[in-house]
């Protein structure tokens, strides 16, 4: 018997939990095809392809179905409560107008029966809503774990350190293969602690997201941005030499200076310091990032709000 995609997605998640496997796209895809008895396609470890794969799409559909089920419970509860309240109101009105003892007793019994039914509806719906809430919490946890495994930072939706490592390794391999240029920019917001101290941590998070959005505005579609940690970001610029990287850093400086963060009727301005490293033959990603980081510290030492080139 062939299961629906929704059922297959749910069964796949159960199998991953039972096997103690992380819900990564690779694990999800392989388990999915085992359950569905379909041939396993070639799984390329590329984030965009994995996100667009059928198993990931069906996992998303499963989540949508779960949310729709939760809405369905609330809709049924609303309808049942509305109908029961109308019936109780009618019985209460009949009770007020009744003059005969037998009729009064009958109306009281009917009213009590409706009240008891109303309590049953509330209790049943409460249990259904609690089950839906627990299921949504579990799905939220699994999706958060999957996001981390995919290499995506939850706050900014940029690459995280895992995603950065994978992406930089891939771009270095491509640069070697085609003898292309490759540069990275390591950028860090200046005096970021002052924002948290003056406006609160929520404002700090908003500034980090704001900075990530401005980075996306100045880079090309072929470039990548990763949150390296805290308020520090790494830009990966394929087919770009040191001069191109300097132009990107200058554009980012300009747009950041002209675009303060609007937070609770306040305009919060900030600057950043950066280190730029161009790929050297046979260099590993960790070494390239280390050189960019050293250049970043040189920019901080030079007074901030500037960038320096790696040696």
C-alpha to C-alpha distance for 130 and 120, rounded to whole angstroms: 15
> Is 227 strand, coil or helix?
strand
In the block, residue with structure tokens 């249990």: 127
Maximal C-alpha separation, the chain: 101
Q: Which residue among the candidates 231, 246, 267, 283 is catalytic per the annotation? A: 231
* Backbone φ, ψ for residue 127 (5° rounding): -65, -40
C-alpha to C-alpha distance for 13 and 142, rounded to whole angstroms: 9
Kindly state the tokens that stand for 170: 């891939």
In the block, residue with structure tokens 């049924």: 76
Q: Is 278 a catalytic residue?
A: no
Kindly state the tokens that stand for 257: 């200076």
Pairing mode, strands 307-309 and 272-278: parallel
Query: What are the residues whose beta carbons fall under 8 Å from the beta carbon of 292, sequence distance 6 or more?
Result: 184, 185, 186, 234, 275, 276, 277, 310
Give the Cβ contact number of residue 135 at 10 Å: 15
Phi-psi region of 264 (alpha: psi -120 to 50; beta: other; left: phi over 0): left
State the DSSP H helix or E strand holding residue 308, giving kind and residue range, or none if neither. Answer: strand 307-309
Query: What are the residues whose beta carbons fall under 8 Å from the beta carbon of 306, sequence distance 6 or more?
Result: 273, 274, 299
Mind telling me the catalytic residues?
A: 231
């Amino acid at each position: 018997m062939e299961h629906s995609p929704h059922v297959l997605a749910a069964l796949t998640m159960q199998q991953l939990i039972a096997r103690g496997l992380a819900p990564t796209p690779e694990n999800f895809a392989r388990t999915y095809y085992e359950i569905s008895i379909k041939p396993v396609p070639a799984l390329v470890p590329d984030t965009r392809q994995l996100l667009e794969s059928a198993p990931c799409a069906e996992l998303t559909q499963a989540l949508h179905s779960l949310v729709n089920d939760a809405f369905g419970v609330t809709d049924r509860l609303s309808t049942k409560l509305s109908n029961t309240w109308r019936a109780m109101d009618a019985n209460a009105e009949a009770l007020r107008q009744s003059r005969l003892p037998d009729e009064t007793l009958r109306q009281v019994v009917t009213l009590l029966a409706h009240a008891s039914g109303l309590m049953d509806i509330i209790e049943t719906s409460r249990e259904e809503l609690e089950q839906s809430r627990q299921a949504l919490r579990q799905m939220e946890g699994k999706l958060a774990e999957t996001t981390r495994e995919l290499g995506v930072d939850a706050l900014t939706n940029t690459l995280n350190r895992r995603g950065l490592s994978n992406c930089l390794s891939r771009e270095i391999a491509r640069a070697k293969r085609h003898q292309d240029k490759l540069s990275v920019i390591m950028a860090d917001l200046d005096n970021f602690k002052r924002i948290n101290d003056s406006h609160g941590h929520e404002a700090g998070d908003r500034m980090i997201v704001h900075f990530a959005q401005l980075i996306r505005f100045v880079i090309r579609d072929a470039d990548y941005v990763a949150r390296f940690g805290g308020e520090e970001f790494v830009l990966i610029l394929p087919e770009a030499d040191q001069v191109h990287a300097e132009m990107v850093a200058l554009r980012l400086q300009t747009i950041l200076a002209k675009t303060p963060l609007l937070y609770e009727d306040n305009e919060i301005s900030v600057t950043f310091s950066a280190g730029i490293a161009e790929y050297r033959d046979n260099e590993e990603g960790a070494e390239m990032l280390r050189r960019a980081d050293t250049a970043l510290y040189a920019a901080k030492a030079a007074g901030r709000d500037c960038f320096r080139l790696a040696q």
